[in-house]
A and B are shown apart, each in its own frame.
Chain A
Amino acid sequence: MKKGYTFVKHYLPGFIYLFTVLFFISFSFLNAQERFRRFPPSPQSLVDLNLPEIRSHKLTNSLRLSVVQNTQSPDIHLQLIIFAGESHSPDDLPGLATFTAHMLSKGTSSFSSSEFENILASIGGRFEVSVFSEHTIISISFLEEFLYEGLDVLGKLVKNPSFSQREIAKLKTSLYYNMAGKRFDPDFVSRRLMLRILFQDHPHQKITFNEDGIKNIKHDNVRKYFRTFYRPNNSHLILIGGIDFQTASRVVSRHLNTWRKNNLKYSPISPPKPVKRLRICLVDMPQIDDTTIFIGNVITLNVPEDYFSYSVFNRVLGSTPNSRIFMNLRETKGYAYYAFSQLDLFNKFGIFFIRAKVRSDVALLSIEEVLREIDHVMKVKIPSQEIEQAKFYLLGNFPIKMAESRYFSKKISEIIAFDLGEAHWANYYENIMQIDSDKVFELIKDSSILTPTIVIVTNANLIAEENPFIDELVEKFGEVEVYNYKGLLQYTLR
């Protein structure tokens, strides 16, 4: 008994100590990890962005050519910018610019519409047209080994389109049904109505044409629009691919030098002014469950720096899932499926807008939250740290976008169509780096974005059952304009 007691007295504390030490050693061994795993590594210094040079040349027929050598892409991308868009359609024929652009692929004196598709497929090609307010882009891309064939096709499209009555009739039907098919697309309807209101009484409003306009277009209208605007002295060809400048100039000249110019003269269109009063515009769409909201206004871009300040501001406010509006409406409040801000660039101005898809029962609360966020950012300077994070994001995101050919081509066409100058592209890092909190604040504190046009596309019946949404809108904003899906005003509630 005494022996046992002695053992406990003398050895047990030692055992306990030893056991404890061993336990901690084995625990820390099992739990050990290399130190570098504990924290994220610091980034290396930013790698220089050396974008390819844009080299330009003018052909004898005044067609301007810009060549950007990009060896990464297996394709040649041709983008023919025609400096005329929907704003140049006659007032009684909105949609004519779009119609004419689509007619280009419907046959020439050398090949029919279906032969064109076969030729394009044989060179691994794709064809696309994009019509904007003040310009149109005809894009053809094809495998690099078919440079001659690709340019030959483009030359024939712009020199000798046939505009046959049969193809015009077919295109009228297909464009009509294509546009009519979007009448229940809340995003399409909202965006079109927002632009329609922002461009009221301005030539740009024609970009918001609806399917009815297509019906009235006639063969002569197409020919006249084409003969007036599709001229080398009103165009700029961009060639992107693994071709050097000399070769590109020579081959382009060979295929497009015989494209005849005309004596085109028209005065430039001045940018639209920002809308100065807040407007609420409602579209009742009985088929939908959720509510789509577009909140936007025209912004003026007085100096090149403004674009970069707005880009930084856009990142802070809403362009990504880490931005304020998304974090508020989706992550914190749970109102929205998505909520983003966006800056669309036009010639000498921009449209800044917020687009969100929200639960219908919180549509009004969502609008109030967005307006509160805008109000806050205009009154309280954005903290420097947040501005730096936004810049950090943009500096990283820009080369990623440029590495994709569609963004790369789009950026170059923007630079040329909007006459932004090569510094916009070549000095992107420097342009972003110079933006700070003060610059952003100075730019947006008097900006038009606090008096936006608010478009709400919702199922009014659904809302009415759950809360008096429309009454509250009228009470809060004084006036609600109700439109149909085509963007035509039906009545105003006061």
Chain B
Amino acid sequence: MFVTILNKNILVTITLLFFTFLPLHSGQIEDSPFPFTHFQLKNGLNVILAEDYSFPVVSVAVAYHVGSFHESEGKSGLAHLLETLMFQGSRNVGRMQHINFINRTGGRFDALTTVDKTIFHQTVPANQLELVLWLESDRMFSLRITREKVERAKQSLIDGIRFRKLDDPYMSSSLYFNQLLFGDYSYNHPVIGFETDLRSLSLQDVRSFYSNYYRPNNSVICIAGHIDKVRTRELVEKYFQSIPAGPKLEETTKTEFHDILEDIHFSEKSVPSSPRLYIGYRITSPYSDDYFPMDICSYILVKGTTSRLYKRLVIKERLATSLGGGIEIRKDRAVFKIFVGLNNEVNRARCQRAVFSEINKFISNLVSTKELAKAKMMLKSNYLSKFATVSGRAVFLANRFLERNHTEQVYSELNQFLSVTAHRIMIIANKYFSKHKVILDIEIR
């Protein structure tokens, strides 16, 4: 038995050493996904325009490089609070009028705060572009933050946290899982904030957070759809050029994401039914060379009903009712998560063994050409669907610009996924799935 294991390990090591010296990328190179132009105003606002005349529709995403990452300890929830306040009125736009203006045109809007981004997004008929620019520039220029508005927004967010606590029995254990997995406070505290922190936020906290981060030099505006580029540039300059830049913000340098020193295994009895198993690995930083094969791994292992773990846990052994997971990015850190919805508590240990046995098989054998091609096509379909509409395109560009600080590599991104080889997957999977992990058992209380 020992000899067999030894031989297998030697074989894997030799294989890995051999393939380490193969070129990292090879394969099909594809054209750019869609055209766009990028320029910067004098006040530092980045502007990206993408023309598309399929429908008389225009989509505008204004994204600020701010999120929960930028909140200091004790001030959690600030970015999310600001997202709410951005709809509570500015100098020339009354409370909730932003939403009413968009609704009346037949348009749509949404807003999202993440660890390092806050995105305001609206899609309107093409003839209403100027209205959106007027609305967005007014709240970037002159948001009206009063004590009354802040208190009302705080209460609304606190109610939201309480509702989620009641509604989501997995919330507290998920939070602890993320704390262990992501490490530092800046990365691991919840975007919605903690109730005690929200209560203690002062008017001054909110105002200075706004004046530091919600400035043109800390944001990007992406406009996609039925636009005339020259006219659109004029309009953007008209509404945004005179907004003063904010203070120069210090560039946050990439922090070291150390390996977990030993497996962390903990359990929590917190749910009335539907027990779960969470497993998490720290992996490489987003968009690094290792990131692309790791994302392909997620399609092979956990995504969809044809993934290896789904077939084994849900279909073949019927140990689980659901399976999810994949890569989660928080600023410059990324983790690989596996979520298993268990059939019952009795099979928990068996299910966990099955997961690790599949992972071991995965890292010990080359993925077949057919399976790799399937994973790539699933990824390609998902990737292309992100910008299949002008609405998706504006948000995609905003995200990529803030994540990567430029847009050039958007052109090559898909190719980086599609050129991943089976050998590269084996190397990378071994590198990260052999490391220590966090395991959380969510049990029935």
Contact = CB atoms under 8 A, between A and B. Distances in A.
A405 B390 CA distance: 11
Contact of B374 (A48, A49, A121, A396): A121
Given A37-B92, A118-B306, A322 B100 contact: yes
Given A322-B103, A403-B55, A395 B304 contact: no
A480 B127 CA distance: 51
B106 A45 contact: no
Interface string B385-407: 10011110000000000000000
Interface stretch (A72-80, A94-102, A183-191, A351-359): A72-80
B234 interface: no
Main SS at interface, chain A: loop
B125 A395 contact: yes
Given A37-B134, A41-B134, A322-B100, A121 B377 contact: yes
The winner among A33, A125, A392, A403 for most chain B CB atoms within 10 A is A403
Contacts of A70: 54
Contact of B106 (A34, A37, A75, A392): A392
A398 B377 contact: no
B123 A400 contact: yes
A401 to B, nearest CB: 9
Contact of B226 (A47, A75, A320): A47
Contact of B55 (A123, A321, A402): A402
Nearest to A46: B127
B108 interface: yes
Main SS at interface, chain B: helix
Contacts of A402: 55
A292 B305 CA distance: 34
Contact of B54 (A36, A45, A71, A143): A71
Interface in B137-188: 137-138, 141-142
B338 interface: no
A143 B418 CA distance: 14
The winner among A70, A117, A389, A399 for most chain B CB atoms within 10 A is A399
Nearest to A141: B381
Interface string B49-86: 00010111100000000000000000000000000000
B101 interface: yes
B306 A399 contact: no
Interface in A41-90: 41, 43-49, 70-75
B381 A143 contact: yes
The winner among B55, B91, B103, B129 for most chain A CB atoms within 10 A is B55
Q: How large is the interface on A (under 10, 10 to 19, 20 to 34, 35 or more residues)?
A: 35 or more
B105 A38 contact: no
Nearest to A125: B381
Interface in A277-307: none
Contacts of A320: 103
B103 A321 contact: yes
A121 B306 CA distance: 8
B306 A117 contact: yes
Contacts of B374: 118, 121-122
Contacts of A247: none
Interface in B357-390: 370, 373-374, 377-378, 380-381, 384-385, 388-390
Contact of B131 (A43, A117, A399, A404): A43
B101 A40 contact: yes
Given A37-B91, A74-B384, A46 B134 contact: no
B107 interface: yes
Interface in B94-123: 99-101, 103-108, 123
Interface in A394-428: 394-400, 402-405
Interface residues of B, number: 53
B128 A43 contact: yes
A72 B388 contact: yes
A63 to B, nearest CB: 27
A17 interface: no
A75 B131 contact: no
Interface in A105-131: 114, 117-118, 121-125
A43 B391 contact: no
Contact of A33 (B91, B107, B380): B91
A39 interface: yes
Contact of A403 (B99, B130, B389): B389
B131 A322 contact: no
B242 interface: yes
A393 interface: yes
Contacts of B54: 70-72, 403
A72 B134 CA distance: 29
B301 interface: no
Contacts of B25: none
A38 B99 CA distance: 18
Interface of B: 52, 54-57, 91-92, 99-101, 103-108, 123-131, 134-135, 137-138, 141-142, 226, 238-239, 242, 304-306, 311, 315, 370, 373-374, 377-378, 380-381, 384-385, 388-391
Q: 6 smallest A-B Cβ distances: which pairs? A: A396-B106, A124-B381, A397-B106, A47-B56, A74-B384, A396-B125
14 contacts: A43-B131, A49-B56, A72-B388, A73-B388, A117-B305, A118-B374, A143-B381, A320-B103, A321-B99, A322-B104, A398-B106, A400-B57, A400-B106, A400-B123
